[in-house]
Amino acid sequence: MRIVLAQINNVVGDVDGNIEKIKKVLYKFKDDEIDLVVFSELVISGYPPEDLVLKQSFVEKCWFGLQEIIKITEKYNLGTIVSLPVIEDSKLYCSAVLVDSGKVLGFAKKVNLPNYSVFDEKRLFSRGPEPEIYNFRGIKLGIPICEDIWNENVINILKKKGCEIVISPNGSPFDKYKRNQRITIINSRVNESGLPFLYVNQVGGQDELVFDGSSLIVNPDATIIEQGPCWEESFLVAEYNKESSKFLGNKIDFKESNALEDIYMATVIGLRDYVVKNNFPGVILGLSGGIDSALCAAIAVDALGPEKIQCFMMPSKFTSKESIVDAKVCAKNLKIEIDSIDIEDTFSSLKEALSGVFSGLPNDTTEENIQSRIRGTILMAISNKKGKMLITTGNKSEVSVGYSTLYGDMNGGFNPIKDIYKTEVYDLANWRNKNFPKNILGSEGNIIPSSILEKEPSAELRENQKDTDSLPPYEELDKILEFLVDYEMSIKEIINKGFNEETIKKIENLLYISEYKRRQSAPGVKISQKNFGRDRRYPITNRFRDKN
């Protein structure tokens, strides 16, 4: 038996488009002596569909799309597994349908519904009944859906019922630890059951989530026969020998994650699909001469191509000559258009307009924030006029402690580095200067000037300003934030890691009081196991502070 794992990039809600894509894949393999083509979780609706599945008209449209696929399988004498939301006995299930040559052989229903991290499936779907096996062309298949393989209960039942091949459609989003976690889970299920395993995952971006693909063909002894590429569509062909109960092929080594490459490509694919799937003609961003905007510009060029990117330098009297030069050199290296709009006259006019109200009050962060809001207003006006999406460029360190201006530099439709700490920003910029990954549209070489990488970080909103005026060095800040945010550690636990108690408490307080800003921030690519979004849901009004 020959089985294709179709690792494709679909679009949530685009049922017609997803059906056409599925049809093209089936057409591609109709003459290749293929028995079965397997697609990822909820391939018809797109994953994750969120509350779209609560609309009956949407679920019905998915059902009608399934009927088209059934007809195609009859025409081509093919089998397929496609997944969609299905209503049965007034209950909504996440289902995978096994079809053979125009006949439906069964509906596998997801049993284990994830309700943690970014997942809310218990509020959408009903838990499936005990899983069944399905006889497909003389071979008994088990079809656990995604979360069903993350503990042993479903696979054990399938094994007891005589399953010969496990085929698992997945919608497994990326984080920087996920790929290694997946292979550990799959190896556990294979070793427990002694069954060969096919794992198919989707690829592409969907709002804050990005899917890396990495589909797998695994034999009963847990040897990997083939691993799908990361960050691109692909098709794996598994050839099953019933006599040996194995897939044909030689063992390969599991491709370990390259952390920086994965993070970088996640931002590229996440931004690309957000822009393309939402029909924006291109993007704009402010290029300040600093590291964050330089990295975001590089990501944007790699995602969309230089012709789709337009940058703006918006200097004031506090902007250094070095920053102006750095921004221009960076734009030249990236081969993107850059324009300069001086904000000093506008800043002076606003200060004059507010002079009566501010009479007798000293200058403070208010005047700094006015500059940021002028820049934000200019960029949003250009975005509005040209129809291009504005990228915002705040890193996770700044987003964590509120080192940003609401309705200023936080303006924008998407933030590719929202879940990337400042120290990681430097690591990624250095990595990109030395590497030229597949499937990007930018240029090779040192695209981010060394002067940007080496300068001390500054918002340049007042004379001689440095980030360290109000924050610890980023090496220290990022470790504290990682412990507070990513690992939910207590003050005492972080002190035991060797950090100063007063500094930790200051950072924790900044983290809590900035919640209202984060609620109004642009979406950004999930990179860590605890991003600011559905991963972390803290109240805005909150008087709790950790005393220990």
Residue that the structure tokens 């779907």 belong to = 125
Residue that is written with structure tokens 């059934």 in the block: 70
163 is catalytic: no
For the chain, how are helix, strand and coil distributed in percent, rounded to 5?
40, 20, 40
Paired tokens of 339:
């324009």
User: Which tokens hold the place of 359?
Assistant: 């009479």
* Among 41, 147, 424, 482, the one annotated catalytic: 41
Instruction: Give the separation between CA 439 and CA 164, rounded to whole angstroms.
Output: 37
3-class SS of residue 41: coil
Residue with token string 């007798």: 360
Radius of gyration for the chain, computed over Cα atoms and rounded to the nearest angstrom:
26
**At a CB cut-off of 8 Å and minimum separation 6, what does 9 contact?**
202, 203, 204, 233, 273
Quick check: 395 and 421 in contact, CB under 8 A? yes
Chain centroid to CA 131: 31
Residue 127: burial class (beta carbons within 10 Å; 0-12, 13-18, 19+): middle
Are the CB atoms for 85 and 56 separated by under 8 Å? Answer: no
Candidate list 21, 61, 110, 308, residue with the active-site label: 110
Helix (H, G, I), strand (E, B) or coil at 242: coil
530 catalytic? Reply is: no
Sheet of strand 91-100, all strands in order from the earlier edge strand to the far edge: 103-109, 91-100, 79-88, 36-38, 2-7, 234-241, 246-247
E runs forming strands in 202-278: 203-206, 209-212, 216-218, 224-227, 234-241, 246-247
Within 402-469, where are the H helices?
422-434, 450-454
Hey, which residues does 198 pair with through a beta bridge? Answer: 167, 217
Distance CA 307, CA 321 (A): 27
Q: Is 41 a catalytic residue?
A: yes
Selected catalytic residue, list 94, 146, 230, 330? 146
| Residues paired with 80 in a beta bridge | 37, 99
Rounded to 10 degrees, the C-alpha dihedral 484/467/295/514 comes to 40
CA angle 381, 300, 204 (to 5 degrees): 115
CA 109 to CA 89: how far, in whole Å? 13
Residue 183 to residues 127, 346, 396: CA-CA distances in angstroms?
Answer: 25, 56, 28
* Secondary structure (3-state) at 205: strand
Structure tokens at 24: 């093209």
d(CA 121, CA 383): 36
The secondary structure of 147-179 as a DSSP string is GGGSSSHHHHHHHHTT--EEEEEE-----TTHH
Q: Which residue's entry shows tokens 């006995």?
A: 89
Annotated active-site positions, please?
A: 41, 110, 146
